[in-house]
Amino acid sequence: MIVLPRWLITAEKMKPVFLFACLTVLSLGSCSWVPSAGPSASEVAEQSQPEGQILFDIVEVDQRVVSTLLAQPKESFAARFTSGAEPSPIKIAVGDTISVSIWESAAGGLFSEAPSSVPTGSPSGVEPLAPESQPAPGELRDQLGAGPPASATPEARPGGPPRETLQPGAYGGAPGGHVEVIPELQVGSDGAISVPYAGRVPAAGRSPEEVQHTIEARLALKALQPQALVIVRKTEANAVTVTGEAVTRSTRIPLSPGGSRLLEVVAAAGGLNAPPQEIFVKLSRGGVSATIPYRRLVSNPAEDIYAQPDDVLTLVRVPQTFSVFGATDRNAQIPFDTEQLSLSEALGKSQGLRDDLAKPEGVFLFRYEHDSIVRALDQPIASGTMGGVSPIVYRFNLRDGQSYLLAQQFPIEDKDVIFVADAPAVRSYKFATLLSGITGPIITGLLVCQNGKC
């Protein structure tokens, strides 16, 4: 005859209670009740195409996938704005302020008085002074006896703009020559400027050299071998607008006659006021816009193209981040600290996979890709997508050594989400822990009953 232990007999008497406890444990043992940081690797695959619909594509990452992504063209100033390879010629515009200098080969011409004779008793055979030792214009006139000292300030002449008269030797002119300077001439609404004895000279839409030739041609029969020099002093048309929250000051930067590159324009506006890796540069020209990272503008000289008149350069600050979830030592939103970041570097910033939780075959990267990239990967476009983008989940098997090499090449983009699934044994461990927490009090109660206290 078999004698049952007393505690088992007691348990038999408590069969309804024991049965209820077992049902409770079994219900809690289902996968939906086990705590988890996210779906399992198999659940991610199952949820991608429920009931024939494509919610997202799962792409197993191999060398072909990485090569396809790296081969995709990036936004480029050099490719989008081919006219920026050479500096744009400076053209005079309506409203510009220019100065005109006119040289004559000798005194007594159209713009000067005839020279007076040298006073008797003046020393003869005196060696000419070196350029750095030549007297000032006023002193020279006193020595030559040519009347009162000349003034370097503009003199008003009836019917003409303010002019400056400089004496021989000024601006490196010949000792017997003369130069007339008209310091400020504004291009009128008709696109012309007024030059004494030359009339209204067309200027708008022309280069300074073209205006010089016109002035010389008109004065050829009136002045003594005239030569002209036209300099643009102030201009609003030949300038670039620099603006945005990432630039020190928003302003208009005049272009250099020899050409100004984009980085030179940014420097002239005071430089940056934010970390370079967070700054994007948008160039708008002739109704066309393109945006590239500032770091690429610095690192790739081909992108530092010449600015052109009326360009708008906008510098915006866009912090680049990616998020990490699942079985890693650090679940967080992590900022970029470089322009380019690989998956291996991103996992390193999250302190790597947890060896007690992670499933190396279940490393996923969630991203929205343009439809052109989805097609290049030979994947179907997800159902109901809008805006030309489709969700894709890239899967890495880090149990394969080659995957670490692929992870070094795989580029991380702004707002990517990395998820590391738990290993299957982790769920069993969590279930056992949960089961122990529930059945422990029940077993304790049964043992109490066995001692006859229930």
213 contact partners, CB below 8 Å, separation of at least 6: none
More confident position, 29 or 277:
277
More confident position, 50 or 390:
390
Beta bridge partners of 306: 261
Model confidence over 395-423: pLDDT tens digits? 999 999 999 999 999 999 999 999 999 88
Q: Give Cα separations from 47 to 53, 166, 362 (angstroms).
A: 10, 86, 14
Neighbours of 454 (CB within 10 A): 12
Mean pLDDT of the chain: 79
- Percent above pLDDT 90 for the chain: 49
Query: Residue by residue, what is the 3-state secondary structure of 53-116?
Result: CCCCEEEECCHHHHHHHHCCCCCCHHHHCHHHHCCCCCCCCCCCEEEEEEEECCCCCCCCCCCC
Neighbours of 126 (CB within 10 A): 7
Domains of the chain from N-terminus onward: 41-73+321-427 (3.10.560.10), 81-86+238-317 (3.10.560.10), 91-112+161-235 (3.30.1950.10)
pLDDT score for 428: 57
pLDDT score for 37: 65
The first and second tokens of residue 352, run together, are 């790597």
Cα Rg of the chain (Å, integer): 42
Mean pLDDT of 176-185: 80
The first and second tokens of residue 366, run together, are 């969630």
pLDDT score for 148: 39
More confident position, 238 or 32:
238
More confident position, 171 or 232:
232
Mean pLDDT of 137-150: 42
State the residue for tokens 């086990």. 34
* H/E element, 261: none
Beta bridge partners of 57: 392
Provide the pLDDT confidence category of residue 435 given band limits of 50, 70 and 90: low
Put simply, whether the predicted model's pTM sits higher than 0.85 gets the answer no
List the single range of 2-11, 79-88, 308-317, 341-350 with lowest mean pLDDT. 2-11
